[in-house]
Amino acid sequence: MDETMLHGLDAELRAIRLDDGPRLQPLRLDKMFLRARQWHAANPKSYASEPIYRPPSPPKLPPIYPLPQPLPIHLVSSSSSIPQNGDKRKERENGVSPLSQLFEYPELIPLVLDNFDQPRDLANICRVNKEWYSIIRKKLYNHIWIRPWEDGCHFKLVLLFDTLHKHPELCKLVRKLDVRFFPLAARGEERSELVDHVQTAIGEMANLESLVWTRDRSLNPSLLERIADLSHIRSLELSGHSYRYYDPALIGTMPALDDLRIMMPDPNLKSKLVDVIKSLSERKIGGLKGLGIICQSSSLIDDAILKTIAPNLSKLKRLTLWGCTRITKDGVFEILHESSNHIEELSLDAVSHSGLIDLSHAPSLPSLQVFSMTMTLPHRDITRNSIVTSEDLPILPLSPSLTSLHLTLSGSHLFLPLTSYQNFQSQIPHDRIQKLSLINLVIASDTLTFILESNPNLEELYISVNGRSTVLDCQGLFEYGRNKLKILHINAPDKWGPNSDDLQILASKLENLEQIGSGNRVYEIHRRLELDQEEDELKVKTELCRWSKTWIPGYFQVWRA
């Protein structure tokens, strides 16, 4: 080939455009040469007299192991002691990974689902397959709620009932519905459409067993009619502001209702309460097993009403009377006499004139398991006498089955000395107590040690202290609470209370602790084994994590202002 032909070929090659055809994946050679130049610049040496060094290669990634290979046909056909249908056998003969056998044990699915609690996680797991979707959908819609302290509660409420309105088959899955928020500011077409969706969805919830609807002024006559028509509702908690919003008499027509809680009743509801209780008691299944009346501070409910409804509460197991300033021990004892053998939970407010601080003459309560009392001490000069004496503490009824005890001092924080608490605990079957809360009753280290030492089965403890040293320097806490406490919540003034580091120390020393908190902070405790590089041994590492459960922590279930 002569020189002229070479020049012509070179010109043709230069005229070729590399971007005329389809683009290919670049080889990234520029990065390879750039790494080499950087290495040469960092190692300026005379390569003529020294051996050649290659630039370092990137670190190797961990190996990725393939899934198990499909089983051979002769193993598939000879191995199966598990009954399977023809479709499954065909899949195996076509070469399916052995991992598919995991889905042939449906009894394992509930065990897997127990590890998931958040609705967003359950929604993602629904994508595994049709079988998981069917099972998880039931769990996802079994208990649904709208709470005002959560982000985007307005959007969640609208979206939830829009979904239920469009898919009535989902309404059949709902067994517990908890609505504590409703957008009262919505007006016009938006409000009308939301109300229609709510009523339609509630009417389709044929399996609904528990309903909480406490948002004031959010109920209406047609909605309560839909609720009253549901045949499976056993528990109902609703707003007591009924005047011009609903007819309370409809509550008495509910066929399966056995637990009723009324928030802030008004005079209209009070006027029909006696008839409602009587109507419920005349059913074939009998009267209520649970009654709760919760007020902020109201004189509407008095002894006369309690004495009137008492004969219709012979099967009562749970009684809650909060904020009813006109009731005394006469009205309460009347109800206890009628249902003394059945009462399992009793929660009372003991104002100074009620006489409820002394329950020594109350009927024996052999089945009582949970007792809660909020005390209001007579007015006195707290600066001179800031100590709670034995006379200030309640005298409990005879209750040999008591397992949970909750005392709350209303309106102030007073010191509870060891001697006062010892006299009080002498009434309690201390070998049975599993849950104890002393709110606004400030205790010292010696009282805390006595509580843990004398209650060998205590698992949950909610206390108030003056400062962090009360718990951090309490040797009795680590000696007696190490192997039994599961929940510990400590209330203290913000300036002197335990911080997150203190709670970390407590969690590390109390080996069985699962939950710890201070004030409004509640933490889950997670533990895992880690290799200590210095000592070359496995050690338990304890971490505090933000509360991630969908249920409300125990502290917010016993705390009252």
- DSSP letters for 394-424: PBPP--TT--EEEEEE-SS-EE--HHHHHHH
The answer, yes or no, to whether residue 103 has pLDDT greater than 80, is no
| Cβ-count burial 216-252 (b if 16+ within 10 Å, e if not) | eebbeeebbbbbbebeebebbbbbbbbeebbebebbb
pTM: 0.79
The answer, yes or no, to whether residue 78 has pLDDT greater than 80, is no
Over residues 345-386, the pLDDT tens digits come to 999 999 888 999 999 999 999 999 999 999 988 766 554 568
**Tokens 């008691």 label which residue?**
281
Tokens at 205, concatenated: 């919830």
Quick one: CA dihedral 489, 494, 500, 503, positive or negative? negative
Note whether 488 and 513 are within 8 A (CB). Answer: yes
Q: Of 542, 463, 549, 470, give the one whose Cα is nearest residue 510.
A: 542
| Cβ-count burial 104-129 (b if 16+ within 10 Å, e if not) | eeeeebeeebeeeeeeeebeebbeee
- Pairing of the two strands 290-302 and 176-179: unpaired
Tokens at 112, concatenated: 């897997």
| Kind plus residue range of the DSSP H or E element containing 202 | helix 188-204
pLDDT at residue 30 in the model: 64
| Amino acid symbol at 216 | D
Question: Is 561 in a helix, a strand, or coil?
Answer: coil
d(CA 21, CA 24): 9
Backbone angles phi, psi at 237, to 5 degrees: -130, 120
**Tokens 């010109």 label which residue?**
11
d(CA 376, CA 357): 9
Mean pLDDT of 518-533: 87
HSE (side-chain half, CA atoms, 13 Å) at 269: 20
pLDDT at residue 11 in the model: 56
The answer, yes or no, to whether residue 80 has pLDDT greater than 70, is no
pLDDT band at 100 (very low <50, low <70, confident <90, very high): low
Note whether 326 and 356 are within 8 A (CB). Answer: no
Average pLDDT of the chain to the nearest whole number: 84
Question: Is 163 in a helix, a strand, or coil?
Answer: helix
Q: Of 418, 394, 416, give the one whose Cα is nearest residue 406.
A: 394
d(CA 369, CA 549): 26
pLDDT at residue 79 in the model: 42
Mean pLDDT of 178-187: 92
Q: Using alpha carbons only, how large is the chain's radius of gyration in Å?
A: 34
pLDDT at residue 459 in the model: 95
Q: How far is CA 150 from CA 119, 191, 197, in A?
A: 14, 21, 22
pLDDT at residue 48 in the model: 47
d(CA 262, CA 268): 13
The answer, yes or no, to whether residue 76 has pLDDT greater than 90, is no
Tokens at 140, concatenated: 């996802």
d(CA 506, CA 517): 11
Q: Which of 7-21, 35-49, 109-123, 494-508 tops mean pLDDT?
A: 494-508
Name which of 58-62, 163-167, 321-325 the model is least confident about. 58-62
HSE (side-chain half, CA atoms, 13 Å) at 331: 19
The answer, yes or no, to whether residue 90 has pLDDT greater than 70, is no
Query: Which DSSP string corresponds to 320-333?
Result: EEEEEEE--HHHHH
Over residues 212-264, the pLDDT tens digits come to 999 999 999 999 999 999 999 999 999 999 999 999 999 999 999 999 999 99
Neighbour count for residue 439 (Cβ, 10 Å): 21
**Tokens 């709208």 label which residue?**
146
pLDDT at residue 440 in the model: 92
Tokens at 12, concatenated: 């043709």
